[in-house]
A = this chain, B = another copy of it.
Amino acid sequence: MEFTIKQIAQLIGGEVKGNENLKIHNFAKIEEGVPGSISFLANPKYEAYLYSTESSAVIVSNDFVPKKDTKSTLISVPNPYLSISQLMAEYQKLSKQKKIGREEFVKVAENAIIGDNTYLGSFSYISEGVTVEIGSQIYPNTFLGKNVKIGKNTIIYAGVKIYDECVIGDNCIIHSGAVIGADGFGFAPDEHGIFQDIPQLGNVVINDNVSIGANCTIDRATMGSTLIGKGTKLDNSVQIGHNVEIGQNTIIASQTGVAGSTKIGNNCMIGGQVGFAGHLKIADGTKIGAQSGVGKNIIQENQTLAGRPLLPLKQHLKLLVNLRKLSVQQ
């Protein structure tokens, strides 16, 4: 596929500075650009590459003023990251064929309901009572337990395991190795101090437009549901304990863990390797830096916090400065 810069600028509503008739057939990182490719500049760290890149076009921000000449044609937009992503989505739509149909070696229970235009890959296991709605894709080696419901146009990648009774919304993406609905970690010591399992009778409910990263683990509730809100995105290897509730449009980076019954609000951004204690409430719009430890409720909305102890970001940065001083103190 090949487009002119003019066509591309029209698609993303950008303003062109330079030759708009050059042809683009590929994407490239700005530091690896070659003629015929289009790049973008969003992070100022990469500005130096703008003046040396061989990319035919670079998408930049409206308010960006180049300090030198560039070989590339520039396309100015309000949000370069969003525009390149729209462009890539368009490219992906044109180039990637959606899988449809039922392959050989599939195990589907007789009473499972499989919608039209769905894909069931080989070695996938569809238990009794399962519903897979229209347009969803179940990749190979996937396990869907009893009564699992998969909404419309959802992609379940190879090797995902979803336990009995869990519910996945529309337009979700669940990446390989994710385990949805394993037993919550609950044990009660008996009279001899020996830990006995507490049955986990609830489920997991994942709302629409959610992305779940590879090898995430989301435990089923003891009673009721572990909930993931609409449009929320989990990176790889995130651990969500039983009865946790995550709000809408919240982003959680890799290797973060949320202990049982904690409730995280809407529009939060959580860094990687963060730990949340159990039974907390975290206000909407909270931002937490990577590797932080969250041990108390966060009541006030839209704070940015970091560290252990968890502090407002500026105070955390000040603490790091003072710790450096402390490290050279006799």
Query: Binary interface profile of A, 113-128, with partner B (CB < 8 Å = 1, else 0)?
Result: 0000000011101000
How many subunits of this chain does the assembly comprise?
A: 3
State whether the Cβ of A291 lies closer than 8 Å to any Cβ in chain B: yes
How far apart sit A185 and B237, CA to CA, in the bound complex (Å)? 12
Known: A293-B290, A308-B291, A327-B316. A89 touches B143 (CB 8 A): no
State whether the Cβ of A32 lies closer than 8 Å to any Cβ in chain B: yes
Query: Binary interface profile of A, 175-191, with partner B (CB < 8 Å = 1, else 0)?
Result: 11101001101111110
B327 touches A185 (CB 8 A): no
Report chain B residues within 8 Å CB of A176. Answer: 143, 161, 163, 179, 182
A80 and chain B: residue at smallest CB distance: B188
Report chain B residues within 8 Å CB of A196. Answer: 82, 85-86, 89
State whether the Cβ of A249 lies closer than 8 Å to any Cβ in chain B: yes
From the candidates B45, B89, B125, B322, name the one contacting A123 in the complex (CB within 8 A).
B125
How far apart sit A173 and B200, CA to CA, in the bound complex (Å)? 13
Report chain B residues within 8 Å CB of A157. Answer: 161, 163, 182
From the candidates B219, B249, B327, name the one contacting A318 in the complex (CB within 8 A).
B327
* Sampled A-B contacts (28; CB under 8 Å): A45-B279, A81-B188, A81-B198, A85-B196, A88-B199, A104-B107, A105-B105, A107-B122, A107-B123, A107-B140, A122-B125, A159-B179, A161-B214, A173-B183, A175-B182, A176-B182, A179-B215, A213-B217, A219-B236, A237-B257, A254-B257, A257-B273, A259-B272, A275-B291, A291-B293, A318-B327, A318-B328, A323-B326
Nearest 7 A-B pairs (CB), nearest first? A319-B327, A143-B158, A85-B198, A161-B176, A88-B199, A179-B214, A217-B236
**A residues engaging B (CB < 8 A)?**
27-29, 32, 43, 45, 79, 81-82, 84-86, 88-89, 91-92, 103-105, 107, 121-123, 125, 139-141, 143, 145, 157-159, 161, 163, 173, 175-177, 179, 182-183, 185-190, 193-199, 201, 211, 213-215, 217, 219, 222-224, 231, 233, 235-237, 239, 241, 243, 249, 251, 253-255, 257, 259, 267, 272-273, 275, 277, 279, 290-291, 293, 308-309, 311, 315-316, 318-320, 322-324, 326-329
